[in-house]
Amino acid sequence: MYNYTLTTDFDRKNLIQKALDNISHAYAPYSHFHVSAAVLMSDGKVYTGVNVENASYPAGICAERNAIFHAIAQDKAAKLVAVAIVGGADGKIQDYCAPCGVCRQVMREFGNPQEITVIMAKSTTDYQEMTLGELLPMSFGPEFLT
């Protein structure tokens, strides 16, 4: 039930497409930098999120955390398998959008960093892929507190 892995190109393209489909929902009236993310969980389900800014700037949240928290709110036993991220000024995707440090740490909470795939995409055929372990080496995680 919780053993879904990222194995096929279809999974990658599907995840990227879901992120692309949602970028118009980003609420970024201050930075104008729109971001959308889609996460694949170990039960095979996909959740999406966009960045949601706030007039009180620190109250806003990134697309990646929005998607992950949505997934965990549905099933806290599921682990993070992969994240696809797209973003750009005014929603125009011109470069690969990397996750911020806070989002990397939140990803670290919900899976093995060597097994979580982070896909930074311009399109379904143009993307860079790294493990969370590569993006967040020597990280602090839940096993330190047990």
Binding status of residue 89 toward Zn ion by CB under 5 A: no
Segment contacting Zn ion by CB under 5 A, of 41-49, 84-92, 96-104, 112-120: 96-104
Binding status of residue 61 toward Zn ion by CB under 5 A: no
Size of the site for Zn ion (CB under 5 A): 3
Question: Catalytic site residue 143?
Answer: no
Q: Which of 53, 64, 134, 143 is catalytic?
A: 64
In this complex, which beta carbon is closest to Zn ion, that of residue 44 or of residue 98? 98
Long-range contacts of 97-100 (CB under 8 A, 24+ apart): 97/35, 98/135, 99/62, 99/64, 99/135, 100/62, 100/64
Binding status of residue 28 toward Zn ion by CB under 5 A: no
What is the Cα–Cα distance from 135 to 138, expressed in whole angstroms?
A: 10
Nearest to 128 by CA among 140, 139, 119: 119
> What amino acid positions are annotated as catalytic residues?
64
